[in-house]
Amino acid sequence: MKTEIVNIDNAAELDAFTAEHKNGHFMQTSLWGRVKDDWGWFGVICRNDGGEITGTLAVLVRKISGLPYHMMYAPRGPVCDFDDRDTFRSLIGAAKAEGKKLKAYELKIDKDVPACDEVYKGIARDEGFLIRKHADGLDGFQCCIVNRINIDGRSEDEVFASFHSKHRYNKRVAEKHNVEVRICGSEMKEEFFKIMKVTGERDNFAIRSADYFGKILDTFGENARLYMAFYEGQPIAGALAVLWGNKVWYFYGASLSSHRNVMPNHLLQWEMIKWAIESGCDIYDFRGIKCLDEGDGLYRFKKGFGGEFIEFAGEMDLILKPAAAKIVEASQEIIKKIK
């Protein structure tokens, strides 16, 4: 196995591999590195003796404020076969070597591999990773419980028929009320942000800026869409989706508190699911929920679309500098107390 480090400007091969591999993810691309431009970025490519790429790893790097150390984070990485020990070891080894130059104290990964995959977890443990225990599905950098529709060549009619009857009804309610869904770009980022702000205040979660949403749309180009729902000519809901390789991810969603009775969110989801079907994807990913609880509205909403809930193995931490890690942890606790 041979590895090479690539920077954000010469990562075309890495991006192409992530788009072609069944375990690829849009966060494991240089495009995501451009979105997260307040972090540093480097990529690792692993090749076999024949020169073929067997795996890649895209790493975000952030300096810890006030300290000489860096954190390395590979969101949803690495991209390789889950049981490919040699490639995994080579990718992690190259990242560790790069981290030494950066005074990195840890490397964090959170591949979307099922929690039941003991082979993958064993490979990670053998390389020194500690698997973190999560309090709930949203306790982490990325969600660790998701709902996925396995499209697998099914038609629109077949996928729609798999929805709960109430969800099929609600989608038709939106159409009956002439809710119009338009595919938009970053020109609608401010309108989407306004709706997102209402949603964040209503459901008590922090939101990103309008520029951040616009950056995703502009950076990913035709692989990202902002779906906006209009009622009587006014935007009342929106959702941002990303297409990469064999998957479409529902990334962000928001709706006004008014006009929820016309069910715009059900129609928005259907339009994004149709994009996945039309694009020949294998999976439509609703992303995360907090828990598998019928009392949780988000769980009930996503469950109604007939997908499968999957728990991922979660975050795994490779501590490179134990003393530095303790210093960073202590400084962050102090900051929390001050806040």
Mean pLDDT across 125-143: 90
Q: What percentage of the chain reaches a pLDDT higher than 90?
A: 87
Confidence band (pLDDT; 50, 70, 90) for 339? low
* Arithmetic mean of pLDDT over the chain: 95
Mean pLDDT across 305-321: 95
Domains and CATH numbers, the chain: 2-143+313-338 (3.40.630.30), 146-310 (3.40.630.30)
**What pTM did the predictor assign?**
0.94
Confidence band (pLDDT; 50, 70, 90) for 261? very high
pLDDT in tens, 88-121: 999 999 999 999 999 999 999 999 999 999 999 9
Mean pLDDT across 203-228: 95
Mean pLDDT across 179-207: 94
Looking at residue 331, its pLDDT comes to 81
More confident residue, 113 or 203: 113
Mean pLDDT across 304-331: 93
Q: Which residues contact 242 (CB under 8 A, 6 or more apart)?
A: 26, 216, 220, 223, 224, 248, 249, 251
Mean pLDDT across 130-151: 90
Looking at residue 292, its pLDDT comes to 84
Confidence band (pLDDT; 50, 70, 90) for 135? confident
